[in-house]
Amino acid sequence: MDNGTVSDARPSVFHALLSPEGKDEMYVVPTVDEMKDEATAFFGAAADTTGSAMTLGTFHVLSNSSIYSRLSEELRDAFPDPVARLEYLKLEPLPYLVSPEV
Ligand code: HEM
C-alpha cells in the first residue's frame, strides 16, 4: 500500500476503503495515516470481542466435565495428531463444536 499499489490477489477491507466503487461523490482516497487508524480499530474490534468470547467459552467448557468430554472426544477424532493445525474447514462441520445443543 505504501508504494501506491494494491494487489487484487486477495481482496481485503482495505480494497473497499481504497476504491471509489459504491461511494458518493464526496469520496476521497484515505491517507496512509487514516488507513493505519482503520487497521488499528479493526484489530481492536476483532481481538477484544473474539478474545472475550473465547475466554468465556473456554471457562464454561472447562467448568462442565460432560461438555469437556464430549467436545474433546469430537476434536480428538477429527484431529488424531495432537500437534496438527486445527484447520477451519475441518472444524466447521463438527456438530458438537458448532452446535452444542444437538
Ligand atoms: C465475538 C466476536 C465479535 C463480536 C461479539 C462483535 C461485535 C460487534 C458489534 C456489536 C459491532 C457493532 C458496533 C456498533 O455498531 O456500535 C461490531 C462492529 C465491528 N466489528 Fe465486530 N464483533 C466481533 C468480532 C469481530 C471481528 C473478528 C472483526 C474483524 C476481523 C470485527 C470487526 C468489526 C468492525 C470493523 C466493526 C465496525 C463495523 C462498522 O464500520 O460499522 N468484529 N462488532
Tell me the DSSP string of 27-50: --PPPHHHHHHHHHHHHHHHHHHH
Examine the pLDDT at 40 and tell me if it is beyond 90. Answer: yes
Write down the pTM of the prediction: 0.70
Give ligand 1 pocket residues (Cβ under 6 A). Answer: 42, 45-46, 49-50, 53
Examine residue 72 and state whether it is found in any structural domain, yes or no.
Answer: yes
Atom 29, ligand 1: which residue's CA is nearest? 46
First and final C-alpha spacing in the chain: 46
Q: Are residues 44 and 80 in the same domain?
A: no
CA distance 75 to 20: 44
Domain that holds residue 75: 64-102
The pLDDT tens digits of the residues spanning 61-73 come to: 999 999 999 999 9
Q: Are residues 54 and 70 in the same domain?
A: no
Grid cell locating 38: 482503520
Examine residue 1 and state whether it is found in any structural domain, yes or no.
Answer: no
CA distance 87 to 79: 9
Examine the pLDDT at 30 and tell me if it is beyond 80. Answer: yes
**DSSP class of residue 84?**
S
| Spacing, Cα 78 to ligand 1 middle (Å) | 30
Grid cell locating 14: 482495505
Q: Are residues 15 and 37 in the same domain?
A: yes
Examine the pLDDT at 6 and tell me if it is beyond 90. Answer: no
- Do 79 and 86 contact (CB within 8 A), yes or no? yes
Atom 19, ligand 1: which residue's CA is nearest? 45
| Spacing, Cα 102 to ligand 1 middle (Å) | 28
